[in-house]
Amino acid sequence: MHNAVVNGPLTDFEIRLLEEALEQARRSYAEGGIPIGSALGSEALGIVAAGHNERVQSGDTTAHAEVVCIRRAGRRRDWHTLTLASTLSPCIMCSGTAILHRIPRVIIGEHRSFFGAEELMRQHGISLAAADDQRCRELMERFIREKPDLWNEDIGIPPLKP
C-alpha cells in the first residue's frame, strides 16, 4: 500500500461526502461506465455537487468523476472552503483541477487499484486523507476484472498487440 497522508480520522461530514461519492460510482457502474464517483462540499454548505465518471457514457475523455463534479459545482468563490471526495485516487488531470481551484482537502476512498497524483496535490498544499474503504476497493477490483481493456484505456495503457 502507498504511504498517504492521513490527517486524523474522517469527520462525520467527510464520511457523508465519501458515501455520496460511492453512490455516484455505483450509478456509473450500473450505466456501464467506469465506477468512480466524487462529491464536493463543506460542513457549512453540505454537499454542493456530485458526479461520476461519464467517459464511456458521453464519449468525453475528460469526463472523469472529479472533473464532472467540479463542473456541476458551477462558478464559485468559495473553493478554498470545500472538500473533494473521490472513490479512487485522482489522476493527474483531476488532481490538477483540484489544485487549480485551490480545494484544500481531498478524501480518497481507495488508492490500491490506482495511485494517482497524490504527491502533486501534497506539493500544492492539499491535505489528503486515504480512507482505504473496502467498498470502494471491491467495486474497482470487480470492474477491473470484468473490463480490463476499458480500465487500461481509461488510465492510458495501450492495448496488447495480438
Query: Contact 122/130 with Cβ under 8 angstroms?
Result: no
Q: At what angle do helices 134-146 and 12-30 cross, to 10 degrees?
A: 20
- Check 20, 66, 110, 118 and give the catalytic one: 66
Distance, in Å, from the CA atom of 116 to the CA atom of 56, rounded to the nearest integer, reads 20
Q: Is 23 among the residues known to form the active site?
A: no
Give backbone dihedrals phi and psi of 50, rounded to 5 degrees, phi first.
-150, 155
- Which positions are annotated as active-site residues? 66
